[in-house]
Amino acid sequence: MDDAPDEKRTRLRYAGTCRICGAALDAGTEAVYERSLRSVRCLTCSPTPAPVESGTAGASARREHERRRAKREGRIRAKHPKLGGLILALSDDPQSTTAWKSGALGEERLGQRLDGLASDTLLVLHDRRVPGTRANIDHIAVTPTGVYAIDAKRYVGQRPSMRVEGGLLRPRVEKLMVGSRDRSKLVDSVLTQVDLVRSIVGPEVPVTGILCFVEADWPLIGGAFTIRGVEVVWPKKLSTLLAAEGPHTSAVVHVHRSLATALSQA
């Protein structure tokens, strides 16, 4: 019968990596050797770290919608004490308010799909605050192929496309069109999110920006495209992209925890 202890505090003969936090451990460093797992961890890392809270998809957008509705209702009732209820019943919220509800629905539906894909090697985070701003990252997926910063957009019945202007005599410019409207600022926003995520995970793990259009008018064949390095897709196409095999399986848990620590829930 093998009665050897499962854990042993020791000075490492060879360099290694902490199983919990991913820190590099040089040869000669004191660490805990986990015999059954054949791994090592820092002296300060708990063998059973607290679970990571993935967050609630669409939570901040839903709160903003409710805040705007409540503010409008309060303003109308204060101005029209007797007729306020009738005015509210016969009028609609302004587009600037309903847009938040539509955005929340898109995030929630995509979040449900991502949660359904989650596994030991595909971990997700939802609605993470961009530090120092009121902006957020809708979803983050950590997979063996890298990290994906995902912006969910709900443009019902409208078709995303790329328009290229310039070329031989003028600089080439790629524009994101949704229907007939230029929505290139959406690409700018995702690229900012990519830079933030990359600053957290470091250069070793690839980071890709995604614009995922929910309930859009996609063609029967093709439709997905890449604009300025950002992948523009629909939910099912995104699922296929995230399910691909890659070389970073061993880093998934550590990268996921690092991002959850650095980016609080919005």
CA distances from residue 168 to 6, 161, 171, 192 in whole angstroms, order as listed: 67, 22, 8, 29
Give per-residue pLDDT as tens, 19-58: 877 788 999 999 999 887 788 989 888 777 778 899 999 9
- Res 1: pLDDT: 41
- Res 3: pLDDT: 53
Give per-residue pLDDT as tens, 80-90: 988 888 888 88
User: What is the average per-residue pLDDT within 61-65?
Assistant: 92
CA distances from residue 217 to 106, 156, 157, 203 in whole angstroms, order as listed: 14, 7, 5, 36
User: What percentage of the chain has pLDDT greater than the value 90?
Assistant: 70
Separation CA 167–CA 260 (nearest Å): 42
| Tokens 């596994």 -> residue | 119
Separation CA 26–CA 20 (nearest Å): 16
User: What percentage of the chain has pLDDT greater than the value 70?
Assistant: 98
Q: Which of 262, 264, 265, 253 is nearest to 49 (CA)?
A: 253
Residue 147 phi, psi dihedral angles, 5° rounding:
-110, 140
- Res 67: pLDDT: 94
Give per-residue pLDDT as tens, 202-229: 999 999 999 999 999 999 888 999 999 9
The sign of the torsion formed by the CA atoms of 193, 244, 226, 220 equals negative
Separation CA 130–CA 137 (nearest Å): 7
Report domain extents, the chain. 7-41, 59-262
Q: What is the mean pLDDT of the chain?
A: 91
